[in-house]
Chain A
């Protein structure tokens, strides 16, 4: 049976453990979300055979009075299923500096940093992010960026700037410069530490196919914005793209395990 046939028949596969590198958690101002608390999210993951979600709680990004504490608490509750992105909001530089300074003490919690510059309205090149970029650059850490085509904050041009400035940081282009797909591909060609993310990409046919044709599947990561987008929907979309089963496996879990240094 093909991977697609197996997923359609069973809904989840033990030998294809999905790793989702772009998740969130908690309610959100812009819409009703479901399965927003850690236990519900982990239960939803189980339905689709999702082994691991690396997430950043909405409060860590939008409510600095709460901040990354909720990320840490959730991972400590479900250490086998969750890891967190340390969320950064440069509008509160003191908090950001504390988050960076305490990053290493939460090595069991964090996979890397998360920047949401389009919402915070501060470019990823801004000096207020410098300590985080330096920290990531020195340790080859992943940094998940929200990226969007045309954005002056986290579009292709500022991405190019930070990729040149911090060549050892592993930069994941969340949403792959949405809409400026060719520029995202070019960035990945120009910088070996840049990878593409499928979150908010898979509701449009043809983009993933273009990524794989141009780059191969090794630097494409599965991300869903869970609890925004449904895992089965995204799995079905990847399977429906017609890329090979080997490439699907790279995207579903092999690439993630490599960048997170998890044993295969």
Chain B
């Protein structure tokens, strides 16, 4: 089965971390050792300090590596720190397909007043926004508020927490057709992936590992032997993310 990891970081976490992959080549070696073919990557420097530096390091790191796609981290457009007039063109140039935001860490509000025109444009271009429920990113209340204000944004919720999150995630999957869940912690929950696939369909789930914080083999083994049809496993493992990225217009 082909695995396309939708939640993996390169670079050195500021707090050290455990055996991170500093460079893209190191990351590719880690992926090869584990049997992961492709990855959607962000860079620890995007949250270590200034996201602009992290975005640049990521673009430089994945350049020429056809198995890697990039995520850039955004800040409020009005400050001009990250989002510049040529932002989408730069994304295209640097093989960046997805956005991330860490409002708590970077001290801003992820709402319509701050991001209105920019995220409306991202939604039209089908550029996914990944929101982590870890890493000083957003609270569930923030996520709900955000999706009420931006219902057309393609939103992937990742790192959904180690304790059962379905009372948070299922109402969103039911009400917001553009919401997807990354599986690195969905797979942690007993029966969580199976129940979610049965209720909402496999297309709403995207494989991810959470590397380097988590063991890739954990989510891989769970998905390989999950109690769902093989076609659903393949969709979750790679097909769904491939499809989302194929929709992006830059």
Contacts and interface: CB of A to CB of B under 8 A. Distances in A.
Interface of A: 4, 7-8, 11-12, 28, 30-35, 44, 47-48, 200, 202-206, 209, 224, 226-237, 239-241
A34 B194 contact: yes
Contact of B190 (A7, A229, A241): A229
B200 to A, nearest CB: 14
A31 B167 CA distance: 7
B188 A34 contact: no
Given A237-B214, A240-B218, A241-B215, 8 more contacts: A11-B221, A32-B170, A47-B227, A203-B185, A205-B212, A230-B187, A236-B217, A239-B221
Contact of A237 (B17, B19, B34, B218): B218
B192 A236 contact: no
Contacts of B230: none
A34 B225 CA distance: 17
Contacts of A48: 225
B219 A233 contact: yes
A229 B221 contact: no
Interface residues of B, number: 37
Interface of B: 17-19, 34-35, 162-167, 170, 185, 187-192, 194-195, 211-222, 224-227
B192 A232 contact: no
B163 A237 contact: no
A239 B187 CA distance: 16
B218 A228 contact: no
A56 to B, nearest CB: 16
Nearest to A209: B18
B15 to A, nearest CB: 12
A186 B227 CA distance: 40
Contacts of A44: 190-191
30 contacts: A4-B217, A8-B220, A11-B221, A12-B225, A28-B164, A31-B166, A32-B166, A33-B164, A34-B189, A34-B195, A44-B191, A203-B185, A203-B213, A204-B18, A205-B214, A205-B215, A209-B18, A228-B164, A228-B189, A228-B190, A229-B190, A233-B187, A233-B222, A234-B218, A235-B221, A236-B220, A236-B222, A239-B221, A240-B215, A241-B215
A32 B215 CA distance: 24
Given A204-B214, A233-B219, A241-B215, A31 B191 contact: no
Contact of A34 (B18, B35, B191, B212): B191
Contacts of B213: 203-205
Of B163, B212, B226, B227, the most chain A CB neighbours within 10 A belong to B163
B197 to A, nearest CB: 12
Contacts of A31: 163-167
A58 to B, nearest CB: 13
Contacts of A34: 189-192, 194-195
A233 B18 CA distance: 19
B232 to A, nearest CB: 16
A32 B225 contact: no
A203 B214 contact: yes
A38 B35 CA distance: 35
B165 A203 contact: no
Contacts of A47: 225, 227
A205 B191 contact: no
A261 B237 CA distance: 41
Nearest to B161: A31
Contacts of A233: 187-188, 218-219, 221-222
A213 to B, nearest CB: 12
B162 A236 contact: no
Nearest to A203: B162
Contact of A230 (B167, B188, B220): B188
A203 B185 CA distance: 8
A231 B194 CA distance: 14
A224 B166 CA distance: 19
A253 to B, nearest CB: 17
Contacts of A234: 218
Nearest to A10: B225
A230 B164 contact: no
